[in-house]
């Protein structure tokens, strides 16, 4: 959408900008909660161990660490009973055959029970939070109100709709501040060694959430690039420096290209998996100035922190202090998982102000949500975004009013892409090197790092045990 | 009875009264096209299921939007669905197991429940180059689908991709992607949409639990209770169509009033679905209500046949 808007030269009205930001912000709130509780927590939380917890002690623990609106020993007894009934049924469903009881699980049973209860609460909360998207975007997932030139849901700019949105964002943010963050800190305090595992080197954020029509100056999450972990050397990121390599990906031979010149020519045969020197991925390998870059919450938070972003700096500093770990611990699996929660605090808190900006516009009669435009015969355009998973760029070339070329470089391509022409590893590949693994047949440690990137693919990972030289195929799902 | 009592006790703790719950069951019963005499039976399915039917959920070429849609189910809440109504034996996104253990789960569940499980498929199947464009753990989607679907009591295709191919099957379709029914030459129950409304999945499963059979289908394999009428025939903006009152530009005065979206490309007249009646996310909205034309996302080959999306049919 932004790429086409750039190409046809249309600026969206201010009210449309705010509505888009609200939808985008809601996506951060929703996605990050689901990622933490439902796609990542069970790498750290042993749900089976919670069956042996003392509900009373769990209630005390919960009161000490969080401001969750539910709790008390009866509550935890009921949750435990529910899980016990489920286990006794003999149908373990999604919890069957995982790494329960693995020595890498460090939480005491009570902390496991608390987190398991919140896993279930979060399942309900996320369904409610998704209603924010439906209010101005018709439905979730796949909202359907965004069009080139603005947004179509002008009829929903009514006090009741806006109020409903406000209260949903507040309720969601209460969960973030009172449950998600306390849980994150409680779990992290048992896994501090993960502040030195799973890090990468370079970080790229296109930034997003514009607070005016000036980009990138007004982006709430700023644009920038950090090379070699040098926070002091944070620079403005330039899209001209992006290339994509296909040397190790299942595409026809080609030199590294900028997306405007990009080609997508998949090989026309059954692709063979050849990680030792050949092709082994459907992902191209994106590079910035020739280097691989991690994108996502950690990259965004590091860029914002390095630029002295007030809200981000406050939450990062207080978290480091609470956990008693240095800034360098951010370059890790733990840092990545923490950054996701911390940016949710900043963005979710800011959203409440944006709702008030919308109210002001409506009050002033400024309800223009769409700017008409004309399709040119020939044009090029690009759109740089930062979505929940990371930096997302779209590039379009228009000819005869039709798409001549369209390329996008998405977050998981940056993070999970293979080696490039020069043999440099992709970020996830790099992050996994040196991961200590207690039991190669049950490599929960690998899951922790891969999941911390919030990959949008069920990806294949291989590790080799240097002693037996046995190759273990690990599917990270 | 005991189980049922416990269920209502639990519901009340969550702030859901028995009355709210019965209201939902009535809504669901009506959505399924059953008479109101079925309401207590529908309630029974959630309150005291005698067994949890095993479900094996396969992911092929897709975006996981259909799984996400299922997570948005609010009555029953998704935790109830997963812990108390069905037994989700295999689901790549939500299951805790990974790697070999995950594959073992699939293998064991298919063996244990041979001929008795419901197979839900999300995503299209690559058929060109021996299915080479889509693999999990070295096995092609095509082989996995052949193996698992043939042993299922029923195959439910969740979403347009598994039902008819979806975006992967749009021209030029380099991987030869097809819907499951087409790829395997079998009959499937299709719940298309991008993504479909979770209530139509829940309605189908409840129908199965309640009556021991799948609901009646149209010629494209879609349950009639949900896909029996066009969007256009159920649209609250229909009178504007009849009166010739149209939106010609987004954001216009006509758009703010809520005139008909036919002239900005609405595909409602050719799309069968119950969006205007059940709406999405607990009845919050649906595309036409948000001022956006229907893009026909539950129809076969909608990427090719319904586009351009913003031009009059």
pLDDT-wise least confident of A91-100, A350-359, A418-427: A91-100
Contact residues on chain B for A361, CB-CB shorter than 8 A: none
Task: Please choose, from the candidates B24, B25, B29, the residue with its C-alpha nearest in 3D space to the C-alpha of residue B207.
Answer: B29
Residue B157 pairs with which residues in a beta bridge?
A: B121, B190
Chain B residues inside the 8 Å CB shell of A447? 98
B27 touches chain A (CB under 8 A): no
Give tens-digit pLDDT for A55-113.
Answer: 999 999 999 998 999 999 999 999 999 999 999 998 999 999 999 999 999 999 999 99
- B84-94: pLDDT as tens digits: 889 999 999 99
Of residues A469 and A85, more confidence is placed in A85
Q: Is A275 exposed, middle or buried (0-12, 13-18, 19+ CB in 10 A)?
A: middle
Exposed, middle or buried, A402 (CB in 10 Å: 0-12/13-18/19+)? exposed
A93·B82 Cβ contact <8 A: yes
- Cβ partners under 8 Å of residue A428, min gap 6: A415, A416, A449, A450, A453, A455, A459
Nearest-angstrom CA–CA distance, A56 and A74: 8
Chain A residues in contact with B123 by the CB 8 A cut-off are none
A93 Cα distance to chain centroid: 27
Annotation-wise, does B157 bind a ligand? no
**Does residue A26 sit at the B interface (CB-CB below 8 Å)?**
no
Summarised one tens digit per residue, pLDDT across range A135-185 is 999 999 999 999 999 999 999 999 999 999 999 999 999 999 999 999 999
User: What is the rounded average pLDDT of the residues B134-153?
Assistant: 95
Looking at residue B38, what is its pLDDT? 74
Q: Do B92 and A458 touch (CB under 8 A)?
A: yes
What percent of chain B shows pLDDT beyond 70? 93
- A139 in contact with B at a CB cutoff of 8 Å? yes
* Residue A15 in contact with partner chain B when CB distance is under 8 A: no
Per-residue confidence band for A459, with pLDDT thresholds at 50, 70 and 90:
very low
Partner B, chain A 65-124, Cβ-Cβ below 8 Å:
78, 82, 86, 89, 91, 93-99, 120, 123-124
B275 belongs to an annotated ligand binding site: yes
Which pLDDT does position B115 carry in this prediction?
Answer: 94
- C-alpha span between A376 and A6 (Å, rounded): 12
CB-based contact A147 B292, cutoff 8 Å: yes
Indicate the burial class of A105 (C-beta count within 10 angstroms; 0-12, 13-18, 19 or more).
buried
The DSSP secondary structure of B101-169, one letter per residue, reads: HHHHHHHHHHHHTTTTSEEEEESBEE-SGGGTT-EETTEEHHHHHHHHHTT-SEEEEESHHHHH-GGGG
**Cβ–Cβ of A97/B101 closer than 8 Å?**
yes
pLDDT at residue B22 in the model: 76
The whole-number average pLDDT for the span A450-472 is: 61
With beta carbons less than 8 A apart as the criterion, state whether A391 and A205 touch. yes
Cα-flanking dihedrals φ and ψ of residue B74, to 5°? -110, -25
CB contact under 8 A, B99 and A153: no
**ipTM of the complex in this document:** 0.94
Nearest-angstrom CA–CA distance, B258 and B239: 11
Q: How far apart are CA A406 and CA A447, in angstroms?
A: 33
Q: Which long-range contacts (CB under 8 A, 24 or more apart) does A182-185 make?
A: A182/A65, A182/A66, A182/A67, A182/A68, A183/A36, A183/A65, A183/A66, A183/A114, A183/A115, A183/A118, A184/A36, A184/A337, A184/A338, A184/A341, A185/A65, A185/A319, A185/A322, A185/A323
CA dihedral A255, A256, A258, A260 (to 10 degrees): 30
Contact B291 A153 (CB under 8 A): yes
Preceding peptide of A216 cis, ω within 30°: yes
Which residues on B lie below 8 Å from A99 (Cβ)? 96-97, 101
CB contact under 8 A, A447 and B282: no
Q: At residue A463, does pLDDT exceed 70? A: no
At residue A360, the pLDDT reads: 98
Contact yes or no for B250 and A149 at CB 8 A: yes
Contacts of B133 in chain A (CB under 8 A): 266, 271
The response to whether B149 counts as a known ligand-binding position is no
Tell me whether residues A474 and B98 touch, CB distance under 8 A.
Answer: yes
Q: Above 80 in pLDDT, residue B63?
A: yes
Is the pLDDT at B27 greater than 80? The verdict is no
The span from the CA of A71 to the CA of A63, in Å, is: 8
How near does any CA of chain A get to the CA of B312, in Å?
Answer: 16
In angstroms, the CA B166 to CA B168 distance is 6
Mean pLDDT in residue range A405-423: 96
Q: What is the CA radius of gyration of chain A?
A: 23
Model confidence at B10, in pLDDT bands (50, 70, 90)? low
pLDDT tens string A11-59: 999 999 999 999 999 999 999 999 999 999 999 999 999 999 999 999 9
CB contacts of A136 in chain B (<8 Å) are 290
Number of Cβ pairs closer than 8 Å across A and B?
Answer: 208
Q: In this predicted model, what pLDDT tens digit does every residue of B292-307 receive, in sequence order? A: 999 999 999 999 999 9
- Provide the chain B residues 179-198 that lie in CB contact (below 8 A) with chain A: 194-195
What is the Cα–Cα distance from A365 to A14, expressed in whole angstroms? 12
Q: Do A476 and B255 touch (CB under 8 A)?
A: no
Taking contacts as CB-CB distances below 8 angstroms, the residues of chain A near B105 are 96-97
Q: How close B209 gets to chain A, by Cα (Å)?
A: 17
Q: B196-219: string of b/e by CB count within 10 Å (b at 16+)? A: bbbbbbbbbbbbbbbeeebbebee
Give the whole-angstrom CA distance, residue A273 versus residue B242.
58
Measured in angstroms, the CA of A202 and the nearest CA of chain B are apart by 28
Check: CB of residue B312 under 8 Å from CB of residue B263.
yes
For β-strands B154-158 and B189-191, DSSP reports them as parallel
Whether the pLDDT of residue A272 is over 50: the answer is: yes
**pTM of the shown model:** 0.94
Question: Is B285 close to A156, i.e. CB distance below 8 A?
Answer: yes
In this complex, is the C-beta atom of B155 within 8 Å of any C-beta atom belonging to chain A?
Answer: no
A237-270: pLDDT as tens digits: 999 999 999 999 999 999 999 999 999 999 999 9
Please tell me whether B161 is known to bind a ligand. Answer: yes
| Ligand-binding site membership of B266 (annotated) | yes
- Judge: B92–A96 Cβ closer than 8 Å, yes or no: no
| Interchain proximity A42–B82, CB inside 8 Å | no
Q: Does A39 touch chain B (CB under 8 A)?
A: yes
Q: B76 preceded by cis ω (within 30°)?
A: yes
**3 state SS of A195:** helix
Radius of gyration of chain B (CA): 20
Query: Is A38's CB within 8 Å of B94's CB?
Result: yes
Tokens of A256: 């590294």
């Amino acid at each position: 959408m932004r790429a086409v808007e750039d190409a046809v030269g249309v600026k969206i009205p201010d009210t449309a900008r705010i509505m888009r930001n609200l939808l985008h912000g809601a996506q951060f709130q929703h996605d990050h909660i689901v990622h933490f509780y439902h796609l990542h927590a069970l790498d750290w939380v042993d749900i089976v161990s919670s069956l042996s917890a003392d509900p009373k002690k769990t209630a005390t623990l919960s009161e000490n660490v969080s401001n969750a609106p539910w709790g008390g020993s009866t509550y935890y007894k009921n949750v435990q009973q529910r899980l016990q009934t489920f286990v006794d049924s003999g149908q373990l469903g999604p919890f069957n055959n995982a790494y329960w009881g693995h020595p890498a699980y460090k939480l005491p049973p009570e902390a496991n029970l608390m987190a398991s209860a919140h896993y279930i609460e979060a399942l309900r909360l996320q369904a409610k939070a998704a209603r924010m998207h439906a209010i101005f975007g018709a439905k979730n997932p796949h909202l359907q109100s965004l069009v080139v030139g603005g947004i179509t849901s002008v009829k929903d700019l009514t006090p009741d709709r806006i109020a409903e949105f406000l209260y949903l964002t507040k309720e969601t943010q209460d969960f973030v501040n009172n449950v998600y963050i306390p849980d994150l800190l409680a779990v992290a305090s048992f896994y501090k060694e993960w502040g030195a595992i799973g890090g990468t080197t370079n970080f790229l954020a296109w930034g997003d959430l514009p607070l005016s029509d000036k980009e990138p100056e007004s982006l709430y999450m700023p644009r920038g690039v950090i090379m070699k972990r040098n926070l002091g050397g944070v620079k403005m990121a330039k899209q001209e420096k992006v290339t994509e390599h296909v040397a190790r990906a299942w595409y026809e031979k080609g030199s590294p290209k900028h997306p405007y010149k990009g080609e997508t020519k998949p090989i026309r045969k059954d692709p063979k998996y050849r990680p030792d020197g050949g092709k082994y991925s459907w992902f191209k390998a994106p590079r910035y100035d020739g280097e691989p870059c991690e994108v996502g919450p950690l990259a965004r938070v590091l860029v914002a922190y390095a630029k002295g972003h007030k809200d981000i700096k406050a939450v990062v500093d207080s978290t480091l202090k609470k956990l008693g770990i240095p800034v360098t611990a951010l370059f890790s699996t733990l840092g990545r998982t923490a950054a996701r929660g911390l940016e949710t605090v900043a963005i979710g808190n800011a959203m409440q102000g944006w709702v008030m900006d919308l109210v002001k516009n409506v009050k002033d009669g400024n309800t223009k949500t769409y700017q008409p435009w004309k399709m040119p015969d020939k044009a090029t355009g690009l759109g740089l975004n930062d979505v929940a998973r990371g930096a997302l760029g779209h590039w379009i070339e228009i000819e005869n009013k039709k798409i001549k070329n369209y390329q996008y470089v998405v977050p998981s391509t940056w993070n999970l892409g293979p080696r490039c022409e020069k043999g440099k590893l992709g970020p996830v590949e790099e992050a996994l090197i040196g991961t200590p693994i207690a039991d190669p047949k049950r490599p929960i440690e690998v899951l922790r790092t891969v999941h911390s990137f919030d990959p949008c693919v069920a990806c294949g990972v291989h590790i080799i045990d240097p002693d037996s030289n046995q190759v273990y195929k690990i599917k990270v799902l | 009875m005991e189980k049922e009592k416990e269920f209502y006790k639990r519901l009340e703790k969550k702030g859901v009264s028995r009355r709210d719950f019965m209201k939902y069951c009535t809504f669901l019963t009506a959505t399924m096209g059953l008479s109101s005499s079925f309401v207590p039976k529908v309630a029974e399915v959630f309150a005291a299921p005698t067994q949890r039917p095993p479900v094996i959920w396969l992911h092929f070429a897709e975006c996981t939007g259909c799984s996400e849609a299922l997570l948005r189910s609010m009555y029953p809440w998704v935790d109830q669905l997963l812990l108390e109504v069905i037994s989700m034996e295999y689901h790549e996104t939500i299951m805790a197991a990974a790697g070999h253990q995950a594959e073992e789960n699939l293998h064991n569940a298919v063996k244990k429940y041979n001929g008795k499980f419901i197979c839900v498929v999300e995503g299209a199947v690559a058929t060109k180059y021996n299915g080479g464009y889509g693999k999990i753990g070295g096995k092609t989607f095509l082989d996995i689908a052949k193996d698992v679907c043939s042993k299922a009591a029923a195959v439910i295709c969740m979403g347009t991709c598994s039902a008819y191919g979806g975006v992967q099957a749009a021209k030029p379709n380099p991987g030869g992607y097809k819907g499951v029914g087409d790829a395997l030459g079998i009959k499937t129950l299709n719940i298309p949409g991008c993504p479909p409304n979770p209530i139509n999945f829940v309605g189908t499963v409840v129908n199965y639990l309640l009556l021991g059979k799948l609901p009646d289908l149209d010629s494209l394999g879609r349950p009639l209770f949900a896909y029996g009428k066009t969007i256009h025939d159920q649209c609250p903006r229909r009178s504007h169509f009849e009166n010739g009152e149209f939106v010609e530009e987004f954001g216009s005065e006509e758009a703010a009033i809520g005139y008909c979206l036919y002239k900005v490309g609405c595909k409602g007249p050719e799309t069968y679905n119950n969006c205007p009646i059940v709406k999405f996310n607990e009845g919050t909205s649906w595309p036409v209500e948000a001022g956006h034309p229907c893009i026909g996302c539950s129809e076969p080959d909608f990427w090719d046949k319904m586009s351009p999306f913003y031009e009059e049919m």
